[in-house]
Amino acid sequence: MEVEHGIEFLDNLVYAKTGKRLNSLQKAILRGTWQNLKYPEIAKTQFRSAKYVKGVGFNLWKLFSELLVEDINQSNFRAILEKRELLNIDLSTFQDSPQIKVVNSINVCSKFLQFPNSAETKPQNQTDRKWNASATNKKDLSEMPNLSSFYGRTQELTTLKKLLLQEKCRLLTILGISGIGKTALAVKLIEQVADDFDYILWRSLRNKPSLDILERSLLEFISATANTDNRRSHLIDYLRKHRCLIILDNVQMIFQSGELAGNYETGYENYGSLFRQIGESDSSSCFVLISGDKPREIADLEAEYQGCKSLPLAGLDVDAAWEILREHGFDTEEKWQYMINQYGGNPLWLKMVARLIRDLGFTDLWQESTFLFADLEYKLNQQFNRLSAIEKKVISTIADLGARVTTAQILAYIPQSELLNALQSLLRRSLIEKYVEIGEVYFTIKPVIREYVKHQLSKL
Ligand SMILES: Nc1ncnc2c1ncn2[C@@H]1O[C@H](COP(=O)(O)OP(=O)(O)OP(=O)(O)O)[C@@H](O)[C@H]1O
Ligand SMILES: [Mg+2]
């Protein structure tokens, strides 16, 4: 059974690190997890309490996360084993090897499992990248998604390239509402600037790795040494010596849900201090942060340092948005301009609505009104569930008042002390926009978001 091979490998690895073998309960947890069993089900087969098994499982994932330098848990264990081809490696290479020193365990990992920085270890889905970066630089793009098609964004790419290559920015933040195309833009950007960097690394924070795990994995890739007393200063040192491009995607995942934008979850505050340190340093490297919410320190750093910039991403222009619709089989351009506008040029929303229209085969309805459909509502639910109570109240008030409102109008319903923070936070999440006309400040809300909010209100 293929999982047995993986378990044997992990057992050897744990032995190398701790001098102890995996016990029968730990192996049963691995086998059960492989079969998608939950702790209570595994517990039954082992005649133990679910609570006890859960505790053992928790410690096991923690240990594997350290050894494999990747956040491992019950839900991603099988995928990681498969991704890293743990099941096919030749165990005889370090079979039963008490000689392997504890300090070598991470290197043992990297030798067999770590990042695909060479052609041989490159995963299948990386082989079809359309670009050919310099053969001299080292890339770890295993977590970078593949781009299917890409339209427009010429101006944004020019701006980002200028910031990276001419202004040598150290901290670049790409912001925007979910689905607007932040990740896609960064993938395209790498394609165009790769030759300028010694190392390029892409990391997603979707599974919320601790900073410790992230720093280890970065250091291990850049310097081949992760076990050091002062990891942070080693990392900063390497970032100074080498020109590295490090992309951190999904940064919003480490922020606390239910609070104002950009507040770190407990245990993740040290990310803020890393961003600050990078922003303040004289590093020749650059961190590109991709986030739905603007991290708190970014605004301060931008104000103080030339090398820190952010790019809030708006929707695609009509031509690019139209290409997406055409890809889905639509023909007459004129008819769909209204819809592109209603969905704010958001490529994800446009793709979703185009699929729906194509599947159902009707077209006329969409010219009359914005249409909130289940897939889109689900996506927006994820975002709105993260808002604080006061943000929900403010955005509901704006949606109720109209397409554009002044602060004075909102103040009739919400006290100033609460309103200002909430408005700033909603702006930081790109859920509302601000513009000034003849000296008056207006807040606006995208038609589809307005419809969503009103729909939620009608359910109350
Ligand atoms: N310029 C573009 N041309 C064509 N398709 C695009 C473009 N930008 C984004 N897309 C597509 O739109 C979808 C959403 O893009 P992407 O994942 O980059 O958004 P995002 O802002 O990173 O969203 P999230 O915050 O949820 O991660 C993807 O399917 C992507 O391929
Ligand atoms: Mg993304």
Query: Which value, in Å, is the radius of gyration of the alpha carbons in the chain?
Result: 25
One-letter-per-residue 3-state SS of 60-97: HHHHHHHHHCCCCCCCCHHHHHHHCCHHHCCHHHHCCC
* CATH number where 454 lies: 1.10.10.10
Ligand 1, from 148, 178, 183, 382: best to mutate by most atoms within 8 Å of Cβ? 183
Cα–Cα distance for residue pair 28/53, rounded to 1 Å: 10
Within 10 angstroms of residue 100's Cβ, the number of other Cβ atoms is 17
Of 350, 371, 392, the one marking the end of a domain is 371
Q: Residues lining ligand 2 (ion), CB within 5 A?
A: 183
Same-domain check for residues 339 and 395: no
Residue closest via CA to ligand 1's atom 23 equals 179
Q: Looking at residue 115, what is its pLDDT?
A: 30
179 lines ligand 1 (CB under 6 A): yes
The DSSP call for residue 255 is B
Residue-wise pLDDT tens digits, 240-263? 889 999 999 999 999 999 999 989
Residue 58 sits in which domain range? 2-112
Residue-wise pLDDT tens digits, 305-333? 999 999 999 999 999 999 998 888 777 66
Residue-wise pLDDT tens digits, 184-211? 999 999 989 988 999 999 999 999 999 9
Predicted TM-score (pTM) of the model is 0.72
Q: Is residue 377 part of a domain?
A: no
Q: Looking at residue 348, what is its pLDDT?
A: 95
Of 266, 281, 312, the one marking the end of a domain is 312
Q: Is residue 344 part of a domain?
A: yes
Same-domain check for residues 253 and 337: no
* CATH number where 265 lies: 3.40.50.300
The HSE-up count of residue 239 (CA atoms within 13 Å, CB side) is 26
CB 80 within 8 A of CB 69: no
Same-domain check for residues 157 and 272: yes
Residue-wise pLDDT tens digits, 22-47? 888 888 899 899 888 999 888 888 77
Flag whether pLDDT at 267 surpasses 60: yes
Residue closest via CA to ligand 1's atom 3 equals 150
Q: Is residue 154 part of a domain?
A: yes
Q: Looking at residue 363, what is its pLDDT?
A: 63
Q: Looking at residue 47, what is its pLDDT?
A: 73
Same-domain check for residues 242 and 345: no
Same-domain check for residues 337 and 304: no
181 lines ligand 1 (CB under 6 A): yes
Same-domain check for residues 104 and 149: no
pLDDT bin (cut points 50, 70, 90) of residue 439 is confident
How far from chain centre, in Å, is Cα 431?
18
Supply φ then ψ for residue 247, to 5 degrees. -105, 125
Q: Give Cβ neighbours of residue 86 (< 8 Å, ≥ 6 apart).
A: 5, 6, 9, 10, 112, 113
Same-domain check for residues 331 and 361: yes
* 148 CA from centroid of ligand 1 (Å): 10
